[in-house]
Every structure is written in C-alpha cells, then in structure tokens.
Amino acid sequence: MSELIETLNLLWAGTIKRIDFKLIKHSISLEIEVIENASVLKYEVIFEGVSAYFFSNNEGDERLQIEPYDEGDYLELTSIHYIKEGIGNIIIESQREKWTKNWYASANFVLEIWSSYLFIEAKSLSVNGRTFKA
C-alpha cells in the first residue's frame, strides 16, 4: 500500500488536462501533468470498477458559488488520497423522497481539485499502466 501512496503523492499539484467519466465501463480516467525541475511529467490515471462517485464544488452552501469559466482556467489536482477502509457512508438523505436511503457509498479515493472534492469508490486504480488493487 505504501507504493500506492507514494505514486499518488507524485500527482499532487498536477494540472488535470482531461477527465472522462465512462459510466458504461465503470471507469473514470484523468490525464495529469506535473512540472518537476523544469520537466513535464505526464500521468494517465484510471479508476476501474467504479461503483459510486460524488462531486461537490465546495463545502456547505459555498458549493453553489459557481465561478464563470475564463480562457486559461485549469484544474489543479491539489491532493489525492487513498483510504483503504473508505471514508464512511456517503448517504443521500431526503425528507420527501424516502427511496433515496437505498443509495449510499463509502469512497476509498478522495481527490481535492482546488476547493472542490471528488469522492470515488473503486476496485482498482492504474497509473501509467501500473495497477493497484484497492
């Protein structure tokens, strides 16, 4: 597991050049570029066996403050974490729609993208073709 953590640490502060959600394939893929010592390092990150994900633009009511896109804007992968046992239940709770209680997950990967978060529950992760089982 320490190898997985070391690999994820290489991605911190990288620029997300592309992100794809392939629902039919149960995968999420990212192309990330990291500048280190004046060199550009490229990484292809693929989450496989994705059973759930949750994105929030920010925490609390701040999530509703959507900044308009300006030419030149980019996404920074501020940090990425693996939590073997998962973060605990992510639950949809509704006072009007009781059926939502059946939808829940426990993300084992957490991506901080600027001030937003992407929580992913996946069976494995590959970085540049090297696969790690979650």
Count how many Cα atoms sit within 13 Å of the Cα of residue 55 in the half-sphere of its side chain.
7
Residues of the chain with pLDDT > 90, as a percent, come to: 87
pLDDT tens, position by position, 86-99:
999 998 888 899 89
The reported pLDDT for the residue numbered 38 is 94
Pair 45, 30: CB distance under 8 Å: yes
Residues of the chain with pLDDT > 70, as a percent, come to: 99
Q: Average per-residue pLDDT in the chain?
A: 95
Pair 50, 121: CB distance under 8 Å: yes
Q: What is the mean pLDDT of residues 113-129?
A: 97
pLDDT tens, position by position, 50-70:
999 999 999 999 899 999 889
Asked if residue 101 has pLDDT above 90, the reply is no
Asked if residue 1 has pLDDT above 80, the reply is no
pLDDT tens, position by position, 28-47:
999 999 999 999 999 999 99
Q: How far is CA 14 from CA 9, 30, 101, 133, in A?
A: 10, 11, 36, 23
Pair 27, 50: CB distance under 8 Å: yes
Q: What phi and psi, each to the nearest 5 degrees, are found at residue 5?
A: -60, -45
Question: By C-alpha distance, which of 89, 84, 80, 90 is closest to 134?
Answer: 84
Q: Give the separation between CA 131 and CA 35, rounded to whole angstroms.
A: 23
Q: Where are the domains of the chain?
A: 2-63+73-133
Asked if residue 14 has pLDDT above 90, the reply is yes
Look up tokens 């893929």; give the residue.
29
